[in-house]
Chain A
Amino acid sequence: MALTTANTPSVHASQATGASAKRRRPRRGQQREGLAGYIFLSPWLIGLMGITAIPMLLSLYLSFTNYDVLSPLGEAEWVGLANYKRMFTSDPSYWRSVTVTVSFALIAVPLKLAAALGVALLLNKAWRGVGLFRGLFYLPSLIGGSVALAIVWVNMFNREGAFNGFLAIFGIEGKPWVNDPSWALETLMVLAIWQFGAPMVIFLAGLKQVPTELYEAASVDGAGRFRQFLSVTLPMLSPVIFFNLVLETINGFQGFTAAFVLSDGTGGPVDSTLMYTLNLYLKGWREYEMGYASAMAWVFLLAIGIITAVFFSTGRFWVHYSDGDDR
Chain B
Amino acid sequence: MVASTPAVSRRRSGLGRGVVRTAILLLILAVVLYPLIWMVGTSFKGQTEIVSNTGVLPGDFTPGNYTDGWNHFDVSFSRFFLNSAMVALLTVIGNAISCLVAAYAFARLRFPLRGFWFAVMIGTLLLPQHVLTIPQYILFKQFGWVGGEWPYLPLLVPQFLATEAFFVFLMVQFMRGIPRELDEAAKIDGASPFGIFRYVMLPLSRPALVTTAIFSFIWTWNEFFRQLVYLSDLSDYTIPVAMTLFIDSTGQSAIGPMFAMSVLSLLPVFLFFVAFQRLLVEGINTSGLKG
Report whether over half of chain B's contact residues are helix, strand or loop; otherwise say mixed.
helix
Q: Is B63 an interface residue (CB 8 A)?
A: no
Q: Which of B101, B285, B290 is the one whose CB lies under 8 Å from A251? A: B290
Chain B residue with minimal CB distance to A256? Answer: B225
Contact A160 B138 (CB under 8 A): no
Q: How many angstroms between the C-alpha atoms of A54 and B132 in the bound complex?
A: 11
Q: Is B157 an interface residue (CB 8 A)?
A: yes
Known: A44-B168, A149-B262, A151-B243. A34 touches B112 (CB 8 A): yes
Q: How many angstroms between the C-alpha atoms of A108 and B266 in the bound complex?
A: 24
Contacts of A260 in B (CB 8 A): 224, 228, 244
Chain A residue with minimal CB distance to B55? Answer: A165
Contact A46 B161 (CB under 8 A): yes
Contact B197 A194 (CB under 8 A): no
Q: How many angstroms between the C-alpha atoms of A264 and B168 in the bound complex?
A: 35
Contacts of A280 in B (CB 8 A): 130, 134
Q: Is A210 an interface residue (CB 8 A)?
A: no
Chain A residue with minimal CB distance to B139? Answer: A55
Q: Is A319 an interface residue (CB 8 A)?
A: no
Q: Is A6 an interface residue (CB 8 A)?
A: no
Q: How many angstroms between the C-alpha atoms of A30 and B248 in the bound complex?
A: 60
Contact A44 B161 (CB under 8 A): yes
Known: A135-B277, A155-B255. A160 touches B51 (CB 8 A): yes
Chain A residue with minimal CB distance to B255? Answer: A155
Q: A281-319 vs B: 1/0 string, CB under 8 Å?
A: 100110000100110011011001100100000000000
Report whether over half of chain A's contact residues are helix, strand or loop; otherwise say mixed.
helix
Known: A43-B160, A201-B281. A156 touches B130 (CB 8 A): no
Contact A290 B38 (CB under 8 A): no
Contacts of A144 in B (CB 8 A): 291
Bin chain A's interface residue count.
Answer: 35 or more
Further 18 A-B residue pairs, CB within 8 A, beyond A48-B163, A281-B130: A33-B109, A36-B192, A44-B102, A44-B161, A45-B117, A127-B18, A135-B273, A145-B224, A152-B259, A152-B262, A155-B259, A161-B54, A162-B55, A162-B56, A202-B288, A257-B225, A297-B135, A298-B131
Give me the 8 closest cross-chain CB pairs, A-B, nearest first.
Answer: A165-B54, A47-B161, A37-B111, A198-B291, A141-B291, A55-B135, A59-B135, A36-B193
A-B residue pairs in contact (CB < 8 Å), sample of 22: A32-B193, A36-B109, A51-B161, A52-B132, A54-B139, A133-B29, A135-B273, A137-B29, A138-B291, A142-B291, A144-B291, A148-B261, A151-B243, A151-B246, A151-B247, A152-B39, A162-B34, A199-B291, A201-B285, A257-B225, A260-B244, A300-B128
